[in-house]
Amino acid sequence: MANKSTLSEIEKRFDNDVDRFSNLETGQASTVDALFNMELITDGIAQLYPDLTQLLDIGCGAGNYTVKLLSKLKAAPNVTLADLSQPMLERAKERSASLTDGEVTTIKGDFRKLPLQENTYDVIIATAVLHHLRDDEDWETAFMKLHRLLKPGGSLWVFDLVSHDEPKIQDLLYRQKYGQFLANLKDENYRDHVFDYIEKEDSPRSTQYQIDVAQKAGFRSTEVLHKHLCFTSYVAFK
């Protein structure tokens, strides 16, 4: 893990990519089933929490998931947007503020260290952020904090890159199948570019690992919503 990107390096990369990540259609082009999962997660939240009052989006980027969710709600929740990148936060707030009569708050920094109020949020969205966690202690500490931030009955909604514990399955689904997906998007150079920054920046864990960590942190149940190759979406309930 010592050679992985630092938080400041990750912040700098996202500071320079606001416009791309502001596009609902292409913001996550390198992600398998990106639009499907965005619709799935936001539909799920809208159905389970029609009277949503407090939403937290960690690693919100330019706010795509929050924007999509607010467009589906009759409720006008308060929204807290958290991200390492100030330009991303500014864009996310700009896009979200017109979609709710609630207060839209931005807070810059690593969600693990932010002074967020416990037992406050109905819903936490965490998309393409948890793969930046590192060792076991980091994962466990992060999930315990997310659990504390939720109200009883609240839930954590995740969509992210995952690994596989069986090496041959990892090779098949990641290197071969996902590699072909990336090459088909552009070319083999693009595939290699994506693989290089994943190797440098990310440290994903398997779906089962994350479910086990969620259970250890106190979440009462977890539902896998969708899995395709090395990407998974799930919800964990407090």
Report pLDDT digits (tens) over 102-124.
999 999 999 999 999 999 999 99
Instruction: Report CA torsion sign: 97, 100, 101, 102.
Output: negative
Confidence band for 15, pLDDT divided at 50, 70 and 90: very low
**pLDDT tens digits along 48-60:** 999 999 999 999 9
| CB neighbours of residue 104 within 10 Å | 22
Which two three-digit tokens encode residue 202? 């990310």
Report d(CA 70, CA 97) in Å as an integer.
10
Which two three-digit tokens encode residue 93? 């707030």
Residues 233, 21, 6, 140: what is their CA dihedral angle, to the nearest 10 degrees? -20
Report d(CA 234, CA 79) in Å as an integer.
21
Length of the chain: 238
Which pLDDT score is estimated for 214? 98
Which has the closest alpha carbon to 53: 72, 80, 81, 78?
A: 78
For the chain, percent of residues with pLDDT exceeding 70 = 89
pLDDT of 189 higher than 90: yes
Interval 57-67 mean pLDDT: 95
Which pLDDT score is estimated for 1? 59
Which two three-digit tokens encode residue 59? 């690693």
Which pLDDT score is estimated for 14? 54
Its pTM stands at 0.92
SS3 90: helix
Which pLDDT score is estimated for 173? 98
Instruction: Report CA torsion sign: 200, 127, 106, 137.
Output: negative
pLDDT of 11 higher than 90: no
Question: Do 207 and 170 contact (CB within 8 A), yes or no?
Answer: no
Which pLDDT score is estimated for 55? 98
Which pLDDT score is estimated for 4? 58
In the block, residue with structure tokens 């250890």: 216
Which has more pLDDT, 202 or 216?
Answer: 216
pLDDT of 92 higher than 70: yes
Report d(CA 54, CA 140) in Å as an integer.
24
Report d(CA 7, CA 59) in Å as an integer.
12
| CB neighbours of residue 162 within 10 Å | 24
Question: Do 157 and 125 contact (CB within 8 A), yes or no?
Answer: yes
Query: Which H helix or E strand runs over 45?
Result: helix 34-48
In the chain, domain spans = 7-164+204-237
| CB neighbours of residue 176 within 10 Å | 12
pLDDT of 217 higher than 80: yes
DSSP string, 146-170: HHHHEEEEEEEEEEEE-B-SSHHHH
SS3 126: strand
**pLDDT tens digits along 145-188:** 999 999 999 999 999 999 999 999 999 999 999 999 999 999 99
7-164+204-237, superfamily in CATH? Vaccinia Virus protein VP39 (3.40.50.150)
Which pLDDT score is estimated for 25? 58
For the chain, percent of residues with pLDDT exceeding 90 = 84
